[in-house]
Structure 1
Amino acid sequence: MSAAPMDDRAESIRMIRDSAAAVAPPGGELKRVRDLRFQDPGFDAGVFRQMGEMGWIGLRLPEALGGAGLGLGEACALAEELGAGLVPEPLIPAMLSAGLLAAAGGKGALPVLLAGEVVVLTAWQEHPDTLEVPGTPDASRRFLPMAAGADFFLVPQQEGGRLALYELSAARSAVTVERTQDGGNLGMLTPNLREATKLADDIGPALAEALDEAALLTGAYLLGGMERAFAMTLDYLRTRQQFGRIIGTFQALQHRAADVKMQIALTRASIESAAAALDAGASGDARRAAVSRAKARAADAAMRVTRECIQLHGGIGYTDQYDVGLYLRKAMVLTNQYGSAALHRRRFMAVSPKVEE
């Protein structure tokens, strides 16, 4: 690859990061996030519309379908910045849905979804901790993030050995919503496809790719969160005094901070490597191995880093009023979305020998 395209790509990623400041201000101001916790729908529809106006929902779609035509390098950079700000709007689930609607030929709610005027969630999951999509007719679909604010649902259903895609209005759906640790919500949908519109006969391959991308973007979001939590912790270690000394000068705390920094660096390397592999056209087992390695690393590291950050803060870190705890709460919710660390390790072990061959 020549230097010019590499420079152009770096500039594109930098601009994406800068644009995130519109909804995730640098410095970690979390008042907006706190105000939305444990409220319905758990996010700001106006901010979601702003995401559409900036082209984020369609960032991965081709320009012919109204998207920006950018790669996973840019998408992961955006997710990372949003994770640093704990942005609650369901951008990653919306991007997944946009990919399926594009695979269906741009039918249904795609134009209004890309504009951020509606929230479309894909109801694909029937069982905990899986990336398999049975598409069982009439089966309940679970773990829908921010379902309290959905306008439409996409429902994959098994028909003749293929996964057909239906679009269902939330107003005509039976949805049960439960609160999550971070103040958001998860929904369970009991689909009534008699009220739905069929959009495509087979979206199985597109859905598998979309789930992989959602898993990788979730890993990037977790990376942003752990980096911000660590930055807050370093600030605390540099200012808090005990026994007349700055606690950051204590060797035991320095060793723990160094370990946290290493976990973050390894996670970044995994996320960026996977994004580069997918942007370069990795497919099949190579694609799955790259994604699973990155998501497993991010999920494990996010829990380890945020817990360690709270402990390094001492007693104040355990109070809900102190912001560092919000990052642990978010990690507790997101580490299992689109596959837990254990699931992705199993998948990596299953496919990596085939990649080496």
Structure 2
Amino acid sequence: MTDTETGDRAETLALIVGSAAFLESLEQLRRARALRGHRPGISRDFWEQVSDLGWLSLRVPNEQGGIGLGIQELCALSERLGACMAPEPVPEAICTAPLLSGTLLEDVMSGSLIVLPAWQERAGDLESKAPTVRLAQGKLIGSKKYVHMAEAAGGFVVTTSNGLQFVRKDAPGLKMLTTPLQDGGHFSELRFDNTPIEPIKGSFETVQEEITLGIAAYLLGVMRRAFAITKDYVTTRKQFDRSIGSFQVIQHRMVDLYIQIQLVSASIQQAAAILESSPSLAAAKQAVSRAKARASDVALLVTRQAVQLHGGIGYTDEADIGLFLRKAMVLMNCYGSATAHRARYLTLVCAARGKL
């Protein structure tokens, strides 16, 4: 990449970050708190704002009417969404949009239709290449699990043994079984019983990696904001006429957490660069698994430590810091737990070295 291209990329990233500046307000945290536990769990006004800002067309190529930006911009935006714990499934919708075309794509980019992926069939399964969901006489049979915030969607891109299929939420034969989650959101199981479909061209493999990295970046935003809130708290909370942040043991814990957060950031940046430039999907998967495993572990570490450093108030529902822990507990397993990604990473490394 030339110096000019590097400068242009930095300017684009700055514009994305600038467009998301409103997410830093305390009002956004209050909004996330108010939406938890409700169905469908999102704000349509917020989704319209997301559409107006062009975020839903972020990964859609220019020739299809999109902005055509890269993974680094996706991660920068996802991190800001994580910092305010936005419950809307924005990273999933952004990455799924390029699979669509025609009226479906137009409706997604305009914000009038939310389309989410449905690919997972078993807990801990990271592969979408051999799904059991299938077509029988042109109708869909089978089930998909763990579809995040599914009740907010108007349709789903479903991986099947016959390729990708679009299914509308109100399609006959589709039943949704929803489970509430710790952060106030939900997962849904989609059961298809001779459900009508609309065929979609393309592959979900790369899209899955993009979403996974977007979730890792979202977790980075969660841990950064939890760390910042905790830093302010230990600076102002006094004990023995001194701020507890002046105690060496607290300083050491905060420095350790800061280092871990920076390592997550570096891992995500590296994975984004590899996912954008590497012709090898296996190499991209390795990088994404490294980033997601580290982000999952550190998000839980930082948010748990943040609650503890707040003392008794941190364990109350009124304290915002506890919401960050709940969010981390949910998303650390979304699109693959740390254990699942470490296992995949080991398998890929061994295969690359000819040991499998």
- Pair in the same fold by TM > 0.5: yes
1:103-127 C-alpha deviation (Å, 9 max, x unpaired): xxx1562210111111112211111
Whichever residue aligns with residue 29 of structure 2, its letter is: L
Between the aligned partners of 1:28 and 1:349, the Cα distance in structure 2 is: 43
| Structure-to-structure mapping, 1:67-78, within 5 angstroms | 67-78=66-77
Between the aligned partners of 2:282 and 2:69, the Cα distance in structure 1 is: 23
Once the two structures are TM-superposed, the CA of residue 350 in structure 1 deviates from its matched residue by 1.6
Contact 2:99 2:200 in 1 (8 A): no
Q: CA RMSD for the aligned pairs?
A: 1.7
Contact 1:285 1:354 in 2 (8 A): no
Provide closer, same or farther for how the CA distance between residues 175 and 29 of structure 1 changes in structure 2, counting only shifts above 3 A.
closer
Provide closer, same or farther for how the CA distance between residues 108 and 128 of structure 1 changes in structure 2, counting only shifts above 3 A.
farther
Between the aligned partners of 2:25 and 2:273, the Cα distance in structure 1 is: 26
- Quote the residue 2:179 is aligned against: 178
- Quote the residue 1:16 is aligned against: 16
1:197-251 C-alpha deviation (Å, 9 max, x unpaired): 2234xx4xx2110111111010000001100000000000100001111101111
- Quote the residue 1:263 is aligned against: 260
Once the two structures are TM-superposed, the CA of residue 26 in structure 1 deviates from its matched residue by 4.0
1:44-76 C-alpha deviation (Å, 9 max, x unpaired): 122112212222122112111122111111110
Once the two structures are TM-superposed, the CA of residue 83 in structure 1 deviates from its matched residue by 0.4
- Quote the residue 2:146 is aligned against: 143
| Structure-to-structure mapping, 1:272-283, within 5 angstroms | 272-283=269-280
Contact 1:85 1:225 in 2 (8 A): yes
- Quote the residue 2:301 is aligned against: 304
- Quote the residue 1:100 is aligned against: 99
- Quote the residue 2:198 is aligned against: 197
Once the two structures are TM-superposed, the CA of residue 194 in structure 1 deviates from its matched residue by 3.8
Contact 1:270 1:294 in 2 (8 A): yes
Contact 2:178 2:189 in 1 (8 A): yes
Contact 1:38 1:183 in 2 (8 A): yes
Contact 1:292 1:344 in 2 (8 A): yes
1:124-147 C-alpha deviation (Å, 9 max, x unpaired): 111112221232132211111111
Counterpart pick for 1:229 among 209, 226, 231: 226
- Structure 1 position 123 matched with structure 2 position 118: yes
Contact 2:226 2:303 in 1 (8 A): yes
Whichever residue aligns with residue 80 of structure 2, its letter is: E
Between the aligned partners of 1:99 and 1:281, the Cα distance in structure 2 is: 19
- Structure 1 position 216 matched with structure 2 position 213: yes
Contact 1:126 1:139 in 2 (8 A): no
Describe the SS at the equivalent of 2:189: strand
Describe the SS at the equivalent of 1:187: strand
Describe the SS at the equivalent of 1:213: helix
Between the aligned partners of 1:274 and 1:282, the Cα distance in structure 2 is: 13
Q: What percentage of aligned pairs have identical amino acids? A: 43
- TM, length-normalised to structure 1: 0.92
- Quote the residue 1:54 is aligned against: 53
Describe the SS at the equivalent of 2:336: coil
Describe the SS at the equivalent of 2:259: helix
Counterpart pick for 2:283 among 277, 281, 286: 286
Aligned length: 344
- Quote the residue 1:36 is aligned against: 35
